[in-house]
Amino acid sequence: MGPETLEAKQKAAIEEILKAYPQKAAKNREKHLGVGSPNDENQKTCGDVRSNKKTVPGVMSQRGCAYAGSKGVVWGPVKDMIHISHGPIGCGQYSRAGRRNYYIGVTGVDTFVTMNFSTDFQENNIVFGGDKKLGIAIDEINNLFPLNNGITVQSECPIGLIGDDIGAVAKVKAKELDKTIVPVNCEGFRGVSQSLGHHIANDTVRDYVFDAKVNVNTSDVETTEYDVAIIGDYNIGGDAWSSRILLEEMGLRVVA
């Protein structure tokens, strides 16, 4: 099959998909679909296909909010830290265990991926602020789970609206507890979709985790010439679970 034929077939497939939509939705979705080719200049700059646009509820492109992008995608797989959903319980519950993460350890002891931590805001916290509650939650968590390697504070929408200073609380607590405490201002309304949450969270990894003191002892790990670390696998459908098996069948050892 020549490349022209393939392109024509791909274009026809897009037309077929668009036919399934109501007229208004099809007009909107049309801008998000296109056939790429190595010679297409637009593809190199994402100039042709529309992205980073506001999510439309009920339309296939629907994604999470900035908070979901930070908590679920970037910080979610960081298993030895505890991630507090700061604000009302709904956001934390909504994002709970939504990601498939590949982790080892004992849940609740040295790994916390599937647990749901929330400051559970009530009306009075919205009126009078929740900084105090956040400080108490951090203390409580640190007492109950002493093997945590740090705590992140994932801001939900109301935090940004009422102006709680999570950065100040994190700074005080980090000093008091001698721990890595990361304030993440990833309120859902900040971006058009979860993608801004990814950027915000990645910035906090750079600013708070690199060079931070962590209790990981790697000196007793014996390395081999066949070790590989997979970086940046989104594992959206559990695909990392399969790629690990393939790499191991090739004779490689997936260490991270």
Active site residues: 65, 68, 99, 198
Nearer CB in complex with ligand SF4: 137/174: 137
- DSSP secondary structure string for all residues of 203-218: HHIIIIITT-------
Q: Is 200 in the site for ligand SF4 (CB under 6 A)?
A: no
Q: How far is the CB of 194 from ligand SF4 (least distance, A)?
A: 9
Distance CA 129, CA 132 (A): 8
For residue 159, the 8-state DSSP code is: H
The SS3 call for residue 152 is strand
Q: How far is the CB of 165 from ligand SF4 (least distance, A)?
A: 18
Q: Of these, 72, 76, 188, 191, which contacts ligand SF4 (CB under 6 A)? A: 188
Q: Are 158 and 126 in contact (CB under 8 A)?
A: yes
Nearer CB in complex with ligand SF4: 86/173: 86
Q: How far is the CB of 172 from ligand SF4 (least distance, A)?
A: 24
The SS3 call for residue 118 is strand
Nearer CB in complex with ligand SF4: 161/245: 161
Q: Interface with ligand SF4 by CB under 6 A: which range of 3-11, 62-70, 174-182, 206-214?
A: 62-70
Q: Of these, 91, 181, 200, 201, which contacts ligand SF4 (CB under 6 A)? A: 91
The SS3 call for residue 244 is helix
Q: How far is the CB of 186 from ligand SF4 (least distance, A)?
A: 8
Q: Is 157 in the site for ligand SF4 (CB under 6 A)?
A: yes
- Please, which residues bridge with residue 152 across strands? 83, 182
Alpha helices (H) in the chain, listed in sequence order: 3-19, 23-30, 41-44, 66-68, 89-94, 123-128, 131-144, 157-162, 166-177, 195-204, 239-249
Nearer CB in complex with ligand SF4: 131/156: 156
20 Cβ neighbours under 8 A, 6+ residues apart: none
- Please, which residues bridge with residue 228 across strands? 254
For residue 253, the 8-state DSSP code is: E
Nearer CB in complex with ligand SF4: 150/158: 158
Q: Of these, 65, 81, 113, 151, which contacts ligand SF4 (CB under 6 A)? A: 65
Interface with ligand SF4 (CB under 6 A), residue total 9
- Please, which residues bridge with residue 151 across strands? 82, 181
Distance CA 214, CA 147 (A): 11
Residue nearest to ligand SF4 (CB): 188
Q: Is 195 in the site for ligand SF4 (CB under 6 A)?
A: no
Q: Of these, 156, 164, 174, 208, which contacts ligand SF4 (CB under 6 A)? A: 156
Q: Are 99 and 73 in contact (CB under 8 A)?
A: yes
Query: In the complex, which residues of this chain contact ligand SF4 (CB under 6 A)?
Result: 65, 67-68, 91, 94, 156-157, 187-188
